[in-house]
């Protein structure tokens, strides 16, 4: 395949499909441009005349690029993005068409909300919903469609998407962080925004393999499959040489993403065979969120062009690592000052320590919100297994920074400061080299020099949910600090005392050790009292805990109705997902696995009679042993399928969605595990010719 890269250099086509600042500046009058920038930078309401001019410029640009349609592009609670295309055409009296696009069409759309999950909001509000332009995220062209990033709400104004609360959470953090900055004498910063760089893991297998696996097609993960003789034990895949076919996919993907203005930067092989990772350069959180959704979509499209399938499920294969997404997060001012960077002066150090403490306090106070923000049926397979961070949320700071906090807490000398007791705002923090902060891969929430890395997200998760909770929780800590500091008589003394108090109150969340260790689970839960919600049904109901509702309402991130609906929808998604898996398992067992076993047993019996016809004295022990074992396994598979079916029917006895999700957690999943065990054993003794699906070995080593 000839790529553009052979003819054009990356800077030439980077962002060519985006209506970005360059386009705005060159296509809009200086007055309109200035007004739009005000909307983008300061959140000023857009004037209808300005919207009209922007729409015209956007349309002209889109038509030049060959676009025929436009869509409001949004992120409903299904977890994927939604779009409804409208063409630009409008009839002209002479029978021809003209291409039209108005300011009104740019600003607002009216998709029917009734087919998207609303979790009961529909019952209390109108079924109609509307989408509203988010001018801070650039419009782009994808498949000849001009896509306008939007938020999606009900007519009652309740958010039906992930973007609306994300923007609200960013605003909440901005409000409180600015208060803190003013207290430190910063009068120039106009805003504080959070930035995210999401590292995205995924698997690639051939389409040929994928098509033969109903489990992958219906659920995104293998529900059966005996272990491959070779897995990841040799550690020969991580950072290994990238295979040519994968490299071609990556080149093509980079090009597509660069055209969309997405700064993908890093690509490498991951731990498991067939597993890879991609990371962009970080950007403002709502843009990073849009771009990550877009990245996941384009990954799948580009893979298809290469005869491959990109698996974004958290756990496509048992026995090898699953896929996650690392959410690298920081806060910075519009002047480019990273508030999580320690800085060089005592003043910067003190401010840094306060923001650091705000995060520590936030993670401890709202462990449950962070945990549930990443909870899905898929991610439950990772968290708590020895490959991803545990379901227990804790913060890793590294030895140096931990020692500094310890010294502050106990007013004792820190080694690096020549045995001097550190005084905040006066002394310079001892330098701590970045690489010592970045070693522990088992921590769910690690400080990595000038940002935190929240590592519990699943590969298919929208990063919106995690960032909503993180921003809101940090806003809450900052508000608490700002309240105290604004009324303080002695700023420095109060600051010092507050930091000391935070460390002492929240040090239980700090943990630098091995998060995979069983001893940690015991210590975390029994000694430190940290929560350990292993599954989605365990954590999701805590969304409605009083302290959480109160905080999220106070910062105007969610309304009560929105929270109730979200809890309902997330649990509904969980139940639906596992139900589909269970039904798929039964279907595969009855219509493919059992017939395959019978077929092979039949072949063997025929061999036995043929052999005995030749010589009556032959033992035929291989055939007989396998036939007997297969007979036992076939009965088990059948019985276990029937039991699973009964368990699915029983789910309708549940009183509500919380009850149903608990039944799934307590009974359905274990029955699925039992059924799988029998089938996987059968796979190891049935000939590969008779087995109806590609094996783990076939799939994991399919791409060369
Ligand atoms: P790794 O975690 O593999 O060591 P890096 O630390 O280099 O890799 O970066 C991982 C991701 O973190 C990248 O997407 C990068 O752009 C992002 N990142 C770097 N600095 C920041 C920051 N200040 N805020 C948010 N994300 C950041
Ligand atoms: Mg990382």
pLDDT tens track for 621-659:
999 999 999 999 999 999 999 999 999 999 999 999 999
Place of tokens 């030439």: 12
CA of 325, nearest ligand number: 2
Q: What is the pLDDT of residues 306-342, one digit of tens each?
A: 999 999 999 999 999 999 999 999 999 999 999 999 8
Q: Report the separation in Å between the CA atom of 281 and the middle of ligand 1, taken as the mean of its atom positions.
A: 7
- The reported pLDDT for the residue numbered 257 is 97
- The reported pLDDT for the residue numbered 669 is 97
Mean pLDDT score, 104-108 = 92
Q: Report the separation in Å between the CA atom of 328 and the middle of ligand 1, taken as the mean of its atom positions.
A: 6
Ligand 1 contacts CB of residue 199 (under 6 A): yes
CA torsion, ordered 575, 576, 577, 580, to nearest 10 deg = 120
Q: Report the separation in Å between the CA atom of 498 and the middle of ligand 1, taken as the mean of its atom positions.
A: 29
- The reported pLDDT for the residue numbered 114 is 75
What single DSSP character describes residue 693?
S
Do 303 and 194 share a structural domain? yes
Ligand 1 contacts CB of residue 279 (under 6 A): yes
Do 585 and 481 share a structural domain? no
Q: Which atom of ligand 1 is nearest to the CA of 328?
A: 26
Looking at the chain, the whole-number percentage of residues with pLDDT higher than 90 is 79
Do 652 and 534 share a structural domain? no
CA 160 – CA 693 distance, rounded (Å): 40
Task: Tell me the pairing of strands 69-73 and 145-154.
Answer: parallel
pLDDT band at 418; cut points 50, 70, 90: low
Do 150 and 296 share a structural domain? no
Q: Of 158, 179, 214, which residue is a domain's last?
A: 158
Q: Which atom of ligand 1 is nearest to the CA of 448?
A: 6
Q: Which atom of ligand 1 is nearest to the CA of 197?
A: 14
- The reported pLDDT for the residue numbered 345 is 78
Question: What residues contact 339, with CB distance under 8 A and at least 6 apart?
Answer: 177, 192, 330, 331, 332, 333, 351, 352, 355
* Residue 570: inside a domain: no
**Residue 148 corresponds to which tokens in the numbers above?**
């306008």
Ligand 1 contacts CB of residue 552 (under 6 A): no
* Lowest mean pLDDT across 109-123, 358-372, 559-573, 601-615: 109-123
Element (H, E) at 468: helix 463-486
> Helices 30-42 and 48-64 meet at what angle, rounded to 10?
100
49 vs 123: which has the higher pLDDT: 49
Residue 210: phi and psi, rounded to 5, are: -55, -45
Ligand 1 contacts CB of residue 195 (under 6 A): yes
- The reported pLDDT for the residue numbered 209 is 97
* Residue 569: inside a domain: no
Q: CA 3 → CA 18, 241, 279, distances in Å?
A: 20, 22, 22
Mean pLDDT score, 196-216 = 97
Do 181 and 77 share a structural domain? no
**Residue 654 corresponds to which tokens in the numbers above?**
């549940």
Of 520, 571, 519, 524, give the one whose Cα is nearest residue 543. Answer: 571
Q: Which atom of ligand 1 is nearest to the CA of 438?
A: 4
CA 128 – CA 380 distance, rounded (Å): 34
* Residue 605: inside a domain: yes
Query: Can you say whether residue 529 is alpha, beta or left, with left for phi > 0 and alpha for psi between -120 and 50 degrees?
Result: left
Residue 413 in this model has a pLDDT that exceeds 80: no
Q: Report the separation in Å between the CA atom of 264 and the middle of ligand 1, taken as the mean of its atom positions.
A: 12
Place of tokens 């729409």: 55
Question: What residues contact 333, with CB distance under 8 A and at least 6 apart?
Answer: 181, 186, 189, 190, 191, 192, 339
* Residue 163: inside a domain: no
Do 177 and 55 share a structural domain? no
Element (H, E) at 132: strand 129-133
Q: Which atom of ligand 1 is nearest to the CA of 450?
A: 23
- The reported pLDDT for the residue numbered 416 is 55
CA 276 – CA 246 distance, rounded (Å): 9
Residue 61 in this model has a pLDDT that exceeds 80: yes
pLDDT band at 436; cut points 50, 70, 90: low
Q: 198 with 288: CB under 8 angstroms? A: yes
Ligand 1 contacts CB of residue 284 (under 6 A): no
Q: 481 with 349: CB under 8 angstroms? A: no
Of 378, 225, 221, 202, give the one whose Cα is nearest residue 303. Answer: 202
Q: Report the separation in Å between the CA atom of 350 and the middle of ligand 2, taken as the mean of its atom positions.
A: 27
- The reported pLDDT for the residue numbered 387 is 76
Q: 559 with 198: CB under 8 angstroms? A: no
Do 600 and 536 share a structural domain? no
- 264 strand-pairing partners: 280
> Helices 463-486 and 285-305 meet at what angle, rounded to 10?
170
Ligand 1 contacts CB of residue 108 (under 6 A): no
Residue 212 in this model has a pLDDT that exceeds 60: yes
Ligand 1 contacts CB of residue 282 (under 6 A): yes
CA of 449, nearest ligand number: 1
Ligand 1 contacts CB of residue 330 (under 6 A): yes
Residue 17 three-state SS:
coil
Q: Of 136, 158, 180, which residue is a domain's last?
A: 158
Nearest CA, atom 4, ligand 1: 438
CA 213 – CA 40 distance, rounded (Å): 46
What's the per-residue H, E or C state across 194-257? Answer: EEEEEEEEEEEEEHHHHHCCHHHHHHCCCCCCCCCCCCCCCCCCCCCCCCHHHHHHHHHHHHHH
Which CATH number do you get for residue 338? 3.30.590.10
Residue 421 in this model has a pLDDT that exceeds 70: no
CA of 268, nearest ligand number: 1
pLDDT band at 510; cut points 50, 70, 90: very high
Beta strands in 264-410 (DSSP E): 264-269, 275-280, 283-284, 308-311, 324-333, 395-396
Top mean pLDDT of 42-56, 97-111, 593-607 is at 593-607
Residue 86: phi and psi, rounded to 5, are: -125, 135
* Total-model pTM: 0.94
* Residue 372: inside a domain: yes
Ligand 1 contacts CB of residue 338 (under 6 A): yes
Ligand 1 contacts CB of residue 280 (under 6 A): yes
Do 202 and 181 share a structural domain? yes
Count of CB atoms within 10 A of residue 170's CB? 25
Q: Report the separation in Å between the CA atom of 453 and the middle of ligand 2, taken as the mean of its atom positions.
A: 7
Q: Of 493, 526, 558, which residue is a domain's last?
A: 558
Residue 651: phi and psi, rounded to 5, are: -60, -25
* Residue 564: inside a domain: no
- The reported pLDDT for the residue numbered 84 is 87
Residue of 441, 445, 451 best suited for mutating to test ligand 1, as the one with most atoms within 8 Å of CB: 451
* Residue 567: inside a domain: no
pLDDT band at 441; cut points 50, 70, 90: confident
Q: CA 522 → CA 396, 440, 672, distances in Å?
A: 18, 19, 28
Nearest CA, atom 11, ligand 1: 197
Residue 400 in this model has a pLDDT that exceeds 90: no
Q: What is the pLDDT of residues 573-607, one digit of tens each?
A: 999 999 999 999 999 999 999 999 999 999 999 99
CA of 194, nearest ligand number: 1
Residue of 197, 284, 436 best suited for mutating to test ligand 1, as the one with most atoms within 8 Å of CB: 197
**Domain encompassing residue 671:** 575-700
Q: 90 with 99: CB under 8 angstroms? A: yes
Element (H, E) at 689: none
Q: Report the separation in Å between the CA atom of 443 and the middle of ligand 2, taken as the mean of its atom positions.
A: 11
Residue 2 in this model has a pLDDT that exceeds 60: no
Ligand 1 contacts CB of residue 74 (under 6 A): no
Q: CA 614 → CA 603, 611, 617, distances in Å?
A: 17, 5, 9
Which CATH number do you get for residue 73? 3.10.20.70
Element (H, E) at 384: none
Do 188 and 116 share a structural domain? no
Residue 119 in this model has a pLDDT that exceeds 60: yes
- The reported pLDDT for the residue numbered 364 is 98
Do 152 and 42 share a structural domain? yes
* Residue 563: inside a domain: no
Kindly tell me the burial class for residue 681, based on how many C-beta atoms sit within 10 Å of its own C-beta (0-12, 13-18, 19 or more). middle
Do 177 and 153 share a structural domain? no
- The reported pLDDT for the residue numbered 417 is 52
pLDDT band at 385; cut points 50, 70, 90: confident
- The reported pLDDT for the residue numbered 174 is 97
What's the per-residue H, E or C state across 267-286? Answer: EEECCCCCEEEEEECCEEHH
CA torsion, ordered 542, 546, 549, 551, to nearest 10 deg = -120
Q: How many domains does the chain have?
A: 3
Q: 375 with 536: CB under 8 angstroms? A: yes
* Lowest mean pLDDT across 48-62, 433-447, 474-488, 600-614: 433-447
The overall average pLDDT reported for the chain is 92
- The reported pLDDT for the residue numbered 227 is 92
- 355 strand-pairing partners: none
Do 173 and 154 share a structural domain? no
Residue 433 in this model has a pLDDT that exceeds 70: no
Sign of CA dihedral 461, 268, 258, 40: positive
pLDDT band at 411; cut points 50, 70, 90: confident
Which CATH number do you get for residue 582? 1.20.120.1560
Mean pLDDT score, 537-553 = 98
């Amino acid at each position: 395949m000839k790529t553009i890269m052979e003819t054009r250099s990356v800077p030439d086509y980077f962002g060519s499909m985006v209506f970005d600042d360059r386009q705005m500046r060159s296509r809009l009058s200086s007055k309109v441009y200035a007004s739009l920038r005000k909307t983008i930078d300061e959140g000023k309401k857009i004037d209808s005349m300005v919207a009209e001019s922007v729409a015209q410029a956007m349309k002209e640009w889109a038509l030049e690029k060959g676009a025929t349609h436009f869509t409001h592009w949004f992120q409903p609670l299904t977890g994927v993005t939604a779009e409804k295309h409208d063409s630009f055409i409008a009839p002209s009296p002479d029978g021809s068409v003209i291409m039209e696009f108005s300011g009104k069409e740019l600003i607002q759309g009216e998709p029917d909300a009734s087919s998207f999950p609303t979790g009961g909001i529909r019952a209390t509000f109108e079924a109609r919903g509307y989408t509203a332009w988010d001018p801070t995220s650039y419009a782009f062209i994808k498949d000849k469609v001009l896509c306008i990033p939007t938020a999606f709400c009900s007519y009652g104004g309740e958010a039906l998407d992930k973007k609306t609360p994300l923007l609200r959470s960013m605003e909440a953090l901005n409000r409180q962080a600015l208060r803190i900055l003013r207290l430190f004498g910063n009068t120039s910063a106009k805003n504080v925004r959070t930035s995210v760089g999401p590292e995205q893991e995924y698997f690639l297998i051939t389409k040929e393999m994928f098509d033969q696996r109903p489990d992958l097609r219906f659920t995104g993960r293998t529900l059966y499959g005996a272990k491959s003789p070779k897995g990841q034990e040799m550690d020969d895949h991580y950072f290994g040489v990238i295979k040519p076919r994968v490299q071609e996919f990556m080149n093509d993907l980079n090009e597509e993403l660069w055209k969309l203005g997405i700064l993908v930067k890093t690509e490498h092989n991951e731990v498991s065979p067939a597993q890879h990772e991609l990371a962009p350069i970080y950007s403002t959180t709502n843009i990073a969120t849009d771009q990550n959704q877009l990245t996941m979509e384009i990954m799948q499209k580009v893979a298809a062009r290469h005869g491959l399938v990109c698996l974004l499920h958290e756990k496509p294969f048992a026995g090898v690592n699953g896929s996650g997404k690392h959410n690298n997060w920081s806060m910075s001012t519009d002047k480019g000052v990273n508030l999580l960077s320690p800085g060089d002066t005592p003043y910067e150090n003190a401010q840094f320590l306060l923001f650091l403490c705000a995060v520590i306090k936030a993670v401890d106070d709202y462990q449950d919100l962070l945990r549930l923000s990443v909870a899905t049926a898929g991610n439950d397979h990772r968290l708590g297994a020895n490959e991803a961070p545990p379901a227990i949320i804790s913060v890793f700071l590294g030895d140096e920074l931990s020692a500094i906090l310890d010294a502050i807490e106990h007013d004792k000398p820190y080694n690096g400061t020549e045995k001097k007791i550190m005084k905040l705002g006066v002394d310079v923090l001892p330098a701590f080299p970045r690489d010592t902060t970045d070693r522990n891969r088992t921590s769910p929430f690690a400080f990595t020099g000038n940002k935190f890395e929240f590592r519990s997200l699943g590969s298919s998760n929208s990063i919106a949910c995690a960032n909503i909770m993180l921003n809101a929780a940090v806003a809450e800590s900052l508000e608490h600090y700002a309240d105290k500091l604004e009324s303080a008589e002695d700023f420095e003394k109060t600051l010092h005392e507050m930091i000391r108090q935070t460390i002492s109150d929240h040090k239980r969340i700090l943990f630098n050790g091995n998060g995979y260790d069983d001893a940690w689970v015991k210590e975390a839960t029994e000694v430190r009292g940290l929560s350990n919600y292993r599954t989605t049904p365990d954590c999701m109901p805590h969304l409605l805990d009083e302290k959480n509702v109160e905080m999220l309402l106070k910062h105007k991130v969610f309304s009560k109705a929105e929270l109730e609906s979200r809890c309902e929808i997330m649990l509904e998604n969980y139940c639906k997902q596992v139900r589909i898996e269970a039904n798929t398992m039964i279907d595969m067992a009855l219509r493919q696995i059992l017939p395959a076993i019978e077929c092979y047993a039949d072949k063997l019996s025929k061999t036995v009679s043929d052999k005995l016809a030749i010589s009556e004295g032959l033992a035929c022990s291989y055939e007989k042993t396998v036939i007997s074992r297969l007979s036992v396994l076939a009965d088990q598979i059948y019985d276990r399928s029937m039991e699973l079916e009964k368990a699915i029917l029983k789910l309708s006895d549940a009183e509500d969605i919380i009850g149903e999700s608990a039944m799934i957690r307590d009974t359905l999943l274990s029955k699925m595990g039992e059924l799988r065990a029998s089938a996987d054993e059968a796979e190891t003794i049935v000939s590969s010719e008779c087995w109806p699906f590609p094996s783990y070995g076939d799939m994991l080593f399919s791409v060369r």
